[in-house]
Structure 1
Amino acid sequence: MEKYQIYQFVEKTKQQDKGQGLFELETERILEINLEEQIWAKMGTMVSYRGQIKFEREGILEHGLGKLFKKALTGEGASLMKATGSGKLYVADQGKKISILQLNGESICVNGNDLLAFEPGIQWDIKMMRRIAGLLAGGLFNVRLEGKGMVAFTSHYEPLTLIVEPGNPVYTDPNATVAWSGDLQPEFVTDVSLKSFFGRGSGESVQMKFEGRGFVVVQPYEEVYFGNKES
């Protein structure tokens, strides 16, 4: 029987150099980083590597007191690891689909739980969503990234990008919201009449409202964060 031979499996699934640069989608759910100097990635996402690479947990003062204070205050924030050296690093996060963006001076906000990796030249800052901290168990936070370089983020299944235009706001479930363009400032609105229809967690009547001009990325899945249990 010719099917299912080991060599066939190896040939079909083996790693291939695609020449895409620093960030390369080895599969839709595994990111290959062709490391030459340094990269930041979410803690716990490394699945394999080859070469001379040193891994360090994000230092307490690595990014300054301001970011440390925010992380301590929220009790949240996915920890980062710094990979330094040269080689190939493979990262993945719970089998989620990976998207890569090349920033050329633009800015983007990514849900803190969905940020996978970014180049060290990218400027970033943690933005807390204080207004809903008491409405969604554990609250939510996002990371604003801007500058020049690549950013990789994840989503459960295929992401959908919704265009936001003046006079035509977009409303999203916070638990299904992955990212949005940096010039948008989401508001948080509650509508008790939508309590049974919008969302599944303890903050099910809370929505994010995006107004202005830009885009917002959602996923076909409502992520439950930090003890926010489904009802």
Structure 2
Amino acid sequence: MRSPFFNNMDQGEPVPGHFALQNAKMLRVHLNGDVIARQGAMVAFQGQMDFEYQGAGGVGKFLKKALTGEGAPLMRAKGQGLLFLAHNAEDIHLFYLENEQITVNGKNILAYDAHLQTDIKRVQGAGVMSGGLFNTTIGGTGWVAVHTHGAPVMLDAGRAPTFADGDAAVAWSTSLQIGVNRTIKAAALIGRGSGEAMQLAFQGQGFVLVQSSEGPTVPDHTH
């Protein structure tokens, strides 16, 4: 799996089907066919393109998505030309899969090659009521782009036991063993402190991509 750092800007001649960073906040896709992207992520395009709603891909996946709330609304872009994608000026990180899989927090998906296979799976050891612990697996050969709230860090889980806040973990190797670590006494100090501090625990050989935030917060209502 290749993961170019988000600040390595590819300003070379575009190649059909290629994902590249126009800048740290914007993805450039040289489209010659179709690609799956987050709804509303298109900020500009050059060429001939059509956009349509992308369903969940079968009754089973539709039910999983409905029951788990995993993922963001998606669209399919078809055509030829340059497509520019972004989401709330967040940072973008690219992965190139080579006949392999990656697990992604669905709400962080920006775009991926349309021929890649996806599924929704639950983190082992996390009950339904834990919230936010259903994630999307993407597999095959092709590009995946995720958006992160702040510049992310790539952690090598093989170096030491690795833990990450469930809202901050963006993507990780499917080869990793995942568990849930709860620290009740530290609930007021770790994470958002909503009663029980909980982290995902990763073991094995692989990586974990962690954003530098637990995600955008909803401002207090004013009247």
Q: Aligned letter for 2:48? A: Q
Offset of residue 185 of structure 1 = 3.2
Distance 2:175 2:22 in 1: 31
Q: 1:36 aligns with which of 11, 32, 37?
A: 32
Map of 2:3 onto structure 1: none
Q: Secondary structure at the residue paired with 1:188?
A: strand
**Identity across the alignment (%):** 39
Counterpart check, 1:154 vs 2:150: no
Q: Distance in 2 between matches of 1:106 and 1:164?
A: 18
Correspondence for 2:21:
25
Structure 1 unaligned regions, length at least 5: 1-15
Structure 2 Cα separation of the partners of residues 36 and 142 of structure 1: 29
Q: Which amino acid aligns with 2:198?
A: V
Structure 2 counterpart of 1:26, which letter? Q
Question: How far apart, CA to CA, are the structure 2 residues paired with 1:86 and 1:202?
Answer: 47
Q: Distance in 1 between matches of 2:57 and 2:145?
A: 19
Does 2:62 correspond to 1:68?
yes
Aligned twin of 1:12: none
Larger Rg: 1
CA distance in 1, matches of 2:104, 2:167: 13
Q: Report the Cα distance in structure 1 between the residues aligned to 2:165 and 2:181, rounded to whole angstroms.
A: 11
Higher strand share: 2
**Residue 88 of structure 1 pairs with residue 88 of structure 2:** no
The amino acid of 1:134's aligned partner reads M
Query: 2:137 is matched with which residue?
Result: 144
Instruction: Mark the CA change 1:69 to 1:214 in structure 2 (over 3 Å): closer, same or farther.
Output: same
Deviation (angstroms), 1:129? 4.3
Q: State the AA in 1 paired with 2:34.
A: Q
Query: One-letter code of the match for 1:42?
Result: R
Relative to the length of structure 2, the TM-score reads: 0.84
Q: What per-residue deviation string (whole Å, max 9, x for no partner) do you get for residues 107-142 of structure 1?
A: 111111111111112111122348254234xx3432
CA RMSD of aligned residues (A): 2.3
Contact 2:70 2:135 in 1 (8 A): no
C-alpha deviation, 1:203, in angstroms: 6.0
Supply the distance in 1 between the matched residues of 2:42 and 2:74 (Cα, whole angstroms): 11
The answer as to 2:183 corresponding to 1:191 is yes
Q: Classify 1:170/1:135 alpha carbon distance in 2 versus 1 (closer, same or farther; 3 Å).
A: same
Q: TM-score, normalised by structure 1?
A: 0.82
Rounded to whole Å, the distance in 2 between the matches of 1:34 and 1:82 is 15
Q: 1:58 to 1:76 in 2, by over 3 A?
A: same
Q: 2:130 aligns with which of 115, 129, 135?
A: 135
Residue 194 to residue 149, structure 1, CA distance change in 2 (3 Å): same
Separation (CA, whole Å) in 1 of partners of 2:142 and 2:196? 36
Aligned equivalents of 2:169, 2:212: Cα separation in 1: 9
What residue number does 2:4 align with?
none
Does residue 1:105 correspond to 2:99, yes or no? yes
Q: Aligned partners of 2:179 and 2:40: how far apart in 1?
A: 32
Match of 2:71 among 77, 81, 93: 77
Q: Structure 1 residues 159 and 52, CA, compared in 2 at 3 Å: closer, same or farther?
A: same
Over 3 Å counting, the alpha-carbon distance change for 1:31 and 1:114 in structure 2 is same
- SS at 1:202's partner residue? coil
Structure 1 stretches of 4+ moved >4 Å: none
Distance, in Å, in 1 between the alignment partners of 2:123 and 2:79 is 35
